[in-house]
Amino acid sequence: MYRQLNPPQRILMGPGPSEAHPRVYAALAAPIVGHLDPEFLAVMKETQDLLRYVFRTKNPVTLSVPGTGGAGMETCLTNLLEPGDKAVVCIHGFFGMRMREIVERCGATPIAVEAPWGRPIDPADVERAVKGSGAKLVAIVHAETSTGVLQPLDDICRVAKAHGALVVLDTVTSLGGCEVRVDEWGIDAAYSGTQKCLGGPPGLSPVTFNDRAMEVAQKRRTKVRSWYLDMTLIAQYWGESHVYHHTAPVPLNYALREALLLVQEEGLEGRIARHKKNHLALVAGLEAMGLEMFVEKAHRLPSLNTVKVPDGVDEAKARRRLLDRFSLEVGAGLGPLKGKIWRIGLMGYASSARNVTTCLAAFEDALRAQGHRVPEGAGVKAALELL
């Protein structure tokens, strides 16, 4: 006999998913209609308009594909790369490594440009890799979820354009919480995830292609290796003809529309400022407790904060105490950072003064439980001074 489903109410402050607004939960419970029903087609049109708003783009081909951010990554790379192509892949964390893996699976040759985890990519290294290589595109992560680095893009985009390469941008942990300007920056293809700064449930990946990227996809010598993620087919379903391609996850699209509407109502400028303010308050609190941030101040990602685990502290035991005692979820390190950092998300609806102070108080308790000295109340006090 199976138990009745009754998940706990968590405070989601890990690398994703993040907490959703009550209006988003309500949208998930709305009646399901057919994926070609006129009412759902209207939802699709509104979702496209709102996605253009958050991407800051006029690209006609702006939509969501079924799947999490990884589906968006595959959509961009498999549509734009063919066997024999070369692609410059910027790697300064886990998700740059995943990009390289997908490039290889496309039959293309990755040209890796690497930086130590926790530091941004150097544009000079990108220029050296692109120059004379014949690379078709440059792929880079804007907000590296594994390290908490926010990558500057101006110079890298300029270098790519100067050498005729497309730019593919991962905005999974930045869209809706940091500045993302697809048209202004000259991004050819970008993708994101719904479950982070946008504040929706996981399961969809927003994607946008400009005319140049769509022309490359349409003039391929070979078919896209993934039929399901073939952008020329998906674009027809989302276009005026609505040619059947797949059965859309209707409730997830309801929720995405509602999450995007909340972004528009708050305004992108105000939303970005809120993420920044709560990030600064959290950092002030953590540092007042004697903890050290992993990333240099100039390159810290407001939506995903990485903090070093102090010597003598069992990071997994601390996370478990946060979960059991406070129902608070934070993330562990990945790859070479496993056991060395915590990843604390402040994304979308979860980026709030309440969550900042709750997190700091809970961390003080978890550290004290392992005998680590923390000035009593110092974290919350420092945060409140900024809030």
Res 192 pLDDT > 90: yes
User: Buried (b) or exposed (e) across 252-278, using 16+ Cβ within 10 A?
Assistant: bbbbbbbbbbbbeeeebeebbebbbbb
Smallest CA-to-CA distance from 136 within 98, 83, 92 is with 83
Do 215 and 276 have their domain in common? Answer: no
Do 235 and 323 have their domain in common? Answer: no
**Using an 8 Å Cβ cutoff, are 171 and 163 in contact?**
no
pLDDT digits (tens, 9 = 90+) for 41-100: 999 999 999 999 999 999 999 999 999 999 999 999 999 999 999 999 999 999 999 999
Model confidence band, residue 12 (pLDDT cutoffs 50, 70, 90): very high
Q: Mean pLDDT across the chain, nearest whole number?
A: 97
What pLDDT, on a 0 to 100 scale, did the predictor assign at position 384? 98
How many structural domains is the chain composed of?
A: 2
Do 243 and 291 have their domain in common? Answer: no
* Domain annotation covers residue 8: no
Backbone angles phi, psi at 160, to 5 degrees: -60, -45
Burial class for 308, CB neighbours closer than 10 Å (0-12, 13-18, 19+): middle
pLDDT digits (tens, 9 = 90+) for 226-263: 999 999 999 999 999 999 999 999 999 999 999 999 99
Taking the C-alpha atoms of residue 356 and residue 47, their distance in angstroms, rounded to an integer, is 31
For residue 293, list its beta bridge partners: 307
Do 57 and 148 have their domain in common? Answer: yes
Model confidence band, residue 22 (pLDDT cutoffs 50, 70, 90): very high
User: Buried (b) or exposed (e) across 187-202, using 16+ Cβ within 10 A?
Assistant: bbbbbbbbbbbbbbbb
Do 246 and 281 have their domain in common? Answer: no
Do 284 and 255 have their domain in common? Answer: no
pTM tops 0.95, yes or no: yes
Residue 67 belongs to a domain with what CATH number? 3.40.640.10
pLDDT digits (tens, 9 = 90+) for 119-170: 999 999 999 999 999 999 999 999 999 999 999 999 999 999 999 999 999 9
Grouping H, G, I as helix, E, B as strand and the rest as coil, residue 366 is: helix
Model confidence band, residue 324 (pLDDT cutoffs 50, 70, 90): very high
Do 43 and 122 have their domain in common? Answer: yes
What pLDDT, on a 0 to 100 scale, did the predictor assign at position 351? 98
Taking the C-alpha atoms of residue 280 and residue 146, their distance in angstroms, rounded to an integer, is 19
Residues in the chain: 387
Taking the C-alpha atoms of residue 260 and residue 53, their distance in angstroms, rounded to an integer, is 9
* Domain annotation covers residue 168: yes
Give the domain range for residue 379.
268-386
What pLDDT, on a 0 to 100 scale, did the predictor assign at position 157? 97
Do 245 and 305 have their domain in common? Answer: no
- Per-residue pLDDT averaged across 169-196, rounded? 98
What pLDDT, on a 0 to 100 scale, did the predictor assign at position 1? 86
Last residue of a domain, one of 231, 249, 265: 265
To which H or E segment does residue 63 belong? strand 61-66
* Domain annotation covers residue 7: no
What pLDDT, on a 0 to 100 scale, did the predictor assign at position 95? 97
Last residue of a domain, one of 230, 265, 300: 265
Last residue of a domain, one of 212, 243, 265: 265
- Per-residue pLDDT averaged across 207-230, rounded? 97
Do 288 and 251 have their domain in common? Answer: no
Taking the C-alpha atoms of residue 5 and residue 118, their distance in angstroms, rounded to an integer, is 39
Do 239 and 293 have their domain in common? Answer: no
Cα 179 to chain centroid, rounded: 13
Residue 355 belongs to a domain with what CATH number? 3.90.1150.10
